[in-house]
Amino acid sequence: MASLRARLGPSGRKVWQVRIKKRGYPELARTFDLKGEAEAWAKQVETEMDRGIFVSRTEAEGTTLAEALNRYRTEIVPQKKNAERESRQVNGLIPMLGPLAPRFLASIRGKDIMSFMKIRQAGGAGPNTVRLDLALLSHLFNVARTAWGMESLTNPVDLVKGQRPKLPQDRDRRLVGDEQARLLAATATYGGEIGTIITWAIETAMRRGEIAAMKWEHVDRETRTLLIPDTKNGTPRSIPLSPAALAVLDGIINSATLSSTEDTKNNDLRGPVWSMRPHSISQAFRRVCKAAGIMGARLHDMRHEATSRLFEKQGFNAMEVSSITGHKSMQMLKRYTHLRAKDLAKRMK
């Protein structure tokens, strides 16, 4: 049964404390400013207990959003594939929460998420950044509800699905005119590995992280294939290597200082193909584009370029291209494919 008593709160004002004791359930206590709110809460809890559907809200009502995100970073993020990146996202999100950070999870509603979205957009965050923030918050609430024992929680992010910011149209940036020649000429001046990496990206349609993680032992020169054991979607794949791609590897071997000439003969190479890491690859690409006077291009656009060329110049069908690029759906493959009508016209008879 519920017991209700008035007492003085920290501010000296009268508050109402409710205690509920019922066999088979933990003792509950909560304080309200108004007597009517206290009675309504007690009635709701007792009704749920009588019906056997009561779920304790104590933890959800005592855990702030900031505290939950810190726990998420400690317990959940290390289990993810891109743990380092997601940890940075959590660290960057907490200061952006503003008045939401000290709010208890159970008190956050859809309107609060809407307000957060508007504040983020007003602060200059792009649509995709906001959507990533919402995806993180949504997963946090789902984890809290399913794995942390806060079954009473509802996911407020689900309530604003139709109000999320619209993403811009898919990028369709491709190399035009002499841009590829200018880009590679600039890499010769820049030096290092970025020139071979750009050529490799155009020839293979590989992602930046996949390129950086390449190892010699995954190259099969006899079958002209490369195994990519660790991919973004978690499914390993093997891709065919063009003569130009093989020439890139030959150039690396010929220019490398090997400990044994016998290793070269046997192609007995081990370890990373490139020393550059993903961030340094992107940084070098931006600098090379600037030196070449090429505007609006990103390293990831080379994947778009390569995917489109597989259709236009190689004549592969959609299933063949998806097996090379690793796209799991035709919809995603379409986003990465931007065909030129003049190239398609050359194939028409």
- How many residues in the chain? 349
CA distance linking residue 346 with residue 11, whole number of Å? 81
> For the stretch 95-106, what's the b/e string if a residue is b when 16 or more beta carbons lie within 10 angstroms of its beta carbon?
eebeebeeebbb
Residue that is written with structure tokens 């690793």 in the block: 326
The answer to whether 16 and 29 have CB atoms below 8 angstroms apart is: no
Predicted pLDDT at 262: 47
Per-block average pLDDT, block size 10, for the chain (349 residues)? 80 83 76 84 80 67 88 91 86 92 91 92 87 93 88 88 74 88 95 96 94 94 92 85 94 68 55 93 96 94 91 84 83 68 60
CA distance linking residue 53 with residue 107, whole number of Å? 20
CA distance linking residue 38 with residue 237, whole number of Å? 60
- The full DSSP string for 134-175 is HHHHHHHHHHHHHTSS-TT---GGGGGGGGSPPPPPPP----
Q: Which residues carry out catalysis?
A: 207, 232, 300, 303, 327, 336
> Residue 219 is encoded by which pair of tokens?
């190259």
Predicted pLDDT at 151: 78
The answer to whether 212 and 271 have CB atoms below 8 angstroms apart is: no
